[in-house]
């Protein structure tokens, strides 16, 4: 019985979370399993720990997997809503839940096959993407791989076998590259830690599926491992890029500066792909030690800053997407729209595009320029008359790609969206957020038109009955309406 809470706490300790989180992890099953009231936990361990335990217990009761019956979608939507609100109140509750789920996945063998698949599906659909959104790479890849193992065991074994068969060759290649770079770094007096970061089983499977559609196979996948270089300072990062590009030929359009333009979840690194020894492409990721900590632990790194240490001033920026998401979802009244929106805006693969000023915006894969416009500002979306991507005019159904610079052309005067934008066959809109904003605009317009039409009908009948038009407001009060509208 003690193994599960201990393993949950160990995972959080590895993420370097605070003492309250570790205490809550150890106690998170106590209210349910031991019938101990939250008030007693508060009396023994304080209100902060008690709130975390209470939040984790409530999250544990939510079923988030895709329902088989349509009638269950409302319940799933409400459960997702509750999870978002729990995240907004204290993100540590979700960290505890992710660590709890990770240990559950490690012990799935004890459950019947049907239950294994259900839990694995929920993990792959909800918890692994959530870990990704929070930037916690260490948890994400484990949740992905364990889910894949139970959902598609045969494919899992095939991919694992292929990776193992090529491991020695890859390790020898990476060792050679590290040796070459080490000599160059020593020559210029630059300190760096280097290691090969292999892609994990589920991410290799996803790449194989993508390559298969292009008529390629496993042997065509060259980025099964990336070389990671960790240095002391930001200037050192750019020095490493210069050294790497002098040694090997960089591939065009394969350099990304996520230091100057961090991803919304806080990720910072320089990425480049070079042709080593003339034939083999190698992805190299370069970052500082502080950036590396954020990459590994994501938003959880916020809680490692103790009293007296410098604060994580970028924390609010890293959870801005969450605050924005919760604000948007207050606008959704129907379970169906809410459910679609959550799954699109949080749990789908993202593309990262730039504003003309260099700000990064993240959007669901498959998003179009109008989605970008509405992400920047509702009015910009309403007044959009065209878009340029990387300086060229594109149609409204253009699918945005990573690294695109998007410029929205807008009408100077008042203008509204077109009903064509809502036509799913045209592919102008991907996100539920943009779709909902357009629908709200039309509802508002229709209300104004209906008021005017109603006023005309009322005045016509009043004249017909010989009632003075000045008595209109009195009629509204007679029927217990606040105003004539």
Q: How far apart are CA 287 and CA 340, in angstroms?
A: 36
Residue of 79 and 410 predicted with greater confidence: 410
Q: What share of the chain is helix, strand, coil (3-state, %, to 5)?
A: 60, 10, 30
pTM above 0.85, yes or no: no
282-323 per-position pLDDT tens digit: 889 999 998 898 777 766 666 554 434 444 555 555 555 565
Q: What angle do CA 79, 84, 85 make, to 5 degrees?
A: 95
CATH fold group of domain 327-439? Ubiquitin-like (UB roll) (3.10.20)
Backbone angles phi, psi at 376, to 5 degrees: -70, -50
Indicate whether 79 pLDDT > 80: no
Residue 331 has pLDDT above 60, yes or no: no
Res 47: pLDDT: 92
- CA angle 277-282-286, nearest 5°? 125
Please state, in angstroms and rounded to a whole number, the distance separating the CA atoms of residues 56 and 50: 10
Region 423-435 average pLDDT: 88
Q: What is the mean pLDDT of residues 452-461?
A: 79
- Decide if pLDDT at 460 tops 90: no
Top-confidence residue, 81 or 353? 353
- In angstroms, the CA 485 to CA 481 distance is 9
Q: Which CATH architecture has domain 3-151?
A: Orthogonal Bundle (1.10)
- How long, in residues, is the chain? 485
> How do the domains of the chain map onto residue ranges?
3-151, 156-304, 327-439, 446-478
CA distances from 269 to 14, 274, 433 (A): 22, 16, 30
Most distant CA pair in the chain, distance: 100
Predicted local distance difference test score (pLDDT) of residue 213: 72
Confidence of residue 407 (pLDDT cuts 50, 70, 90): very high
User: In which residue are the tokens 């999250």 written?
Assistant: 59
Looking at residue 68, its pLDDT comes to 41
Quick: pLDDT tens for 220-232.
Answer: 666 677 899 999 9
Of 211-215, 336-340, 355-359, which gets the smallest average pLDDT? 336-340
Q: What is the mean pLDDT of residues 408-432?
A: 87
pLDDT of residue 241: 95
Across the range 58-64, mean pLDDT stands at 67
pLDDT digits (tens, 9 = 90+) for 235-252: 999 999 999 999 999 988
pLDDT digits (tens, 9 = 90+) for 12-25: 998 888 899 999 99
Residue % of the chain over a pLDDT of 90: 35
Which stretches of 28-72 are DSSP H helices?
30-33, 38-45, 47-60
Instruction: Identify the sign of the CA torsion 189, 195, 196, 197.
Output: negative
Of the two residues 352 and 299, the one the predictor is more confident about is: 352
267 or 314: whose pLDDT is higher? 267
Res 26 pLDDT > 50: yes
Q: What is the pLDDT of residues 150-179, one digit of tens each?
A: 999 999 999 999 888 878 888 888 999 999
Average pLDDT, the chain: 81
If you search the block for the tokens 């959880």, which residue do you land on? 300
| 65 closest CA partner among 288, 339, 333, 473 | 339
- Tell me the pLDDT band of 367, cut-offs 50, 70 and 90: very high
Please state whether beta strands 280-288 and 225-231 pair in parallel, antiparallel, or not at all (unpaired). Answer: parallel
Of 436, 312, 316, the closest CA to residue 374 belongs to 436
Where residue 484 falls among pLDDT bands split at 50, 70, 90? low
**pLDDT above 70: residue 333:** no
CATH assignment of 156-304, among 3.30.460.10, 3.20.20.70, 3.40.50.10860, 3.30.390.50: 3.30.460.10
DSSP state of 439: H
Q: What percent of the chain has pLDDT over 70?
A: 77
Q: Which pLDDT score is estimated for 244?
A: 95
Task: Look at residue 311 in the predicted model and tell me its pLDDT.
Answer: 47
| Range with the poorest average pLDDT among 37-51, 125-139, 303-317, 336-350 | 303-317
- Compute the average pLDDT of residues 339-357: 69
């Amino acid at each position: 019985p003690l193994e599960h809470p201990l393993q949950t706490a160990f995972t959080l300790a590895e993420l370097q979370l605070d003492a309250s989180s570790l205490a809550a992890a150890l106690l998170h099953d106590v209210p349910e399993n031991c019938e101990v009231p939250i008030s007693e936990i508060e009396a023994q361990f304080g209100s902060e720990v008690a709130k975390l335990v209470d939040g984790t217990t409530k999250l544990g009761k939510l079923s988030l997997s895709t329902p088989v019956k349509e009638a269950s979608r409302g319940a799933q939507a409400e459960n997702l809503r509750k999870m978002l609100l729990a995240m907004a109140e204290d993100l540590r509750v979700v960290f505890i839940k992710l660590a709890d789920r990770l240990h559950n996945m490690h012990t799935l063998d004890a459950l019947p096959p049907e239950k294994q698949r259900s839990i694995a599906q929920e993990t792959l659909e909800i918890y692994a993407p959530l870990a990704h959104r929070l930037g916690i790479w260490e948890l994400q890849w484990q949740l992905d791989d364990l889910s894949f193992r139970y959902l598609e065991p045969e494919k899992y074994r095939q991919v694992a076998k292929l990776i193992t068969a090529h491991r020695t060759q890859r390790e020898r290649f990476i060792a050679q590259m590290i040796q070459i770079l080490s000599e160059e770094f020593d020559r210029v007096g630059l300190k760096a830690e280097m290691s090969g970061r292999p892609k994990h089983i589920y991410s290799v499977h996803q790449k194989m599926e993508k390559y298969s559609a292009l008529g390629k196979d496993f042997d065509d996948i060259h980025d099964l491992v990336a070389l990671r270089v960790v240095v002391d300072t930001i200037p050192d990062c750019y020095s490493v890029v210069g050294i790497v590009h002098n040694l090997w030929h960089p591939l065009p359009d394969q350099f990304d500066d996520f230091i100057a333009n961090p991803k919304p979840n806080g990720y910072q690194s320089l990425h480049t792909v070079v042709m080593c020894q003339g034939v083999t492409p190698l992805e190299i990721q370069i970052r500082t030690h502080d950036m590396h900590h954020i990459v590994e632990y994501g938003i959880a790194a916020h809680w490692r800053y103790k009293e007296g240490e410098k604060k994580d001033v970028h924390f609010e920026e890293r959870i801005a997407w969450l605050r924005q998401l919760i604000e948007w979802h207050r606008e959704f009244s129907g379970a169906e729209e809410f459910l679609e929106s959550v799954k699109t805006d949080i749990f789908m693969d993202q593309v990262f595009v730039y504003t003309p000023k260099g700000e990064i915006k993240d959007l669901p894969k498959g998003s179009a320029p109008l989605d970008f416009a509405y992400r920047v500002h509702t009015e910009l979306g309403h007044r959009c008359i065209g878009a340029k991507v990387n300086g060229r005019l594109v149609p409204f159904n253009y699918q945005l790609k990573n690294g695109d610079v998007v410029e929205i052309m807008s009408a100077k005067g008042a203008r509204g969206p077109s009903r064509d934008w809502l036509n799913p066959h045209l592919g102008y809109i991907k996100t539920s957020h943009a779709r909902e904003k357009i629908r709200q605009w039309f509802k508002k317009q229709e209300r104004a038109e209906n008021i005017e039409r109603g006023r005309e009908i009322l005045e016509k009948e009043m004249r017909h009955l010989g009632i003075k038009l000045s008595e209109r407001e009195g009629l509204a009060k007679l029927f217990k309406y606040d105003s004539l509208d």
